Amino acid sequence: MGRGGRSAGIAPLVFIAPAALLILATILTPIVLSFWISLHQWSLLTPFTDMQWVGLENYITIFHDPSFLRALTNTVVFAGAVLIIGIPLALGMAVLIHQGRIVGRSIVLTLLFSTYVIPTVAVALIWGYLLSPRGGPINELLKMIGLPPQPWLGSPRTALWSLVLLTVWQYLGYFTTILIAGLIQIPTDLYEAASLDGAGAIRRLRSITVPLLKRSLVFAIAICLINGLGVFDAVNVLTRGGPSDSTKVVTFDAMQTAFDFGAAGRAAAMTMVLLVCVMIAVGGLLLFSRDMEDTA
């Protein structure tokens, strides 16, 4: 191979190297470091060199800890609920805004997307006021229509679902925008032909919109799963894992374990378990979508 061939082979590596180094420094290095810490007993109050090797003991401990198992269950339920409620709602909003004759569609879309750019802490504070058991607007509205006020964040029965409602509200505009971007790519001729054949709105949605919107849907679902499994700010601001651990999630449990109980090794093990859950969820989604493309 000549000098020109070698240069052509090296050039792509040179261009990729900065991004690869950035990914290595900001993503892979913390993951590897967290895994290494999870194999040790260590407190954040002691030097890094004082870690004691314990192998898989931290993993065994957390999987025998009812509090962590409750947090893991809450996390999975939370992510699943946000996915099941949020994505269909975003799809409906996207179809309505894109295909419906709505006056001021750009204004509506801007207002929807604005909820996503507001910091989660601010969103949590707003919803804390809305859901307040004493004088909160939502409970006042329930009184007006003759329904009893609800404890919302103060009851183990409703606290987690209140956080689900908050999260769906915050991300609805973002997912709607993603799906509208996908809808724009679908040729309108397909809808016109389907209408001429007598296909109704539901049939067009099932036969045209959803199949051709698959890539946007997969992306939105993946982001929804990642954000749902990694929820922290709303729990930290509004409930602190209560009442009765009904809203304790893995991220909050890991924070408490590391900073309040001084068990950084055990906390690192929790985060690694959460990482595996994210990888399984997103990886399974991508494999499922690829299998659907192969069979299509």
Domains, the chain, in order of start with CATH, read 58-295 (1.10.3720.10)
For residue 1, name the pLDDT band (cuts at 50, 70, 90). very low
Instruction: State pLDDT tens for residues 102-132.
Output: 667 778 778 888 888 888 889 999 999 999 8
| 40-51 burial: b if 16+ Cβ within 10 Å, else e | bbbeeeeeeeeb
CA distances from 224 to 4, 119, 126, 132, 210 (A): 46, 17, 22, 27, 18
pLDDT in tens, 25-67: 788 888 999 999 999 999 988 888 889 999 999 999 999 999 9
Residue 287 in tokens: 């494999």
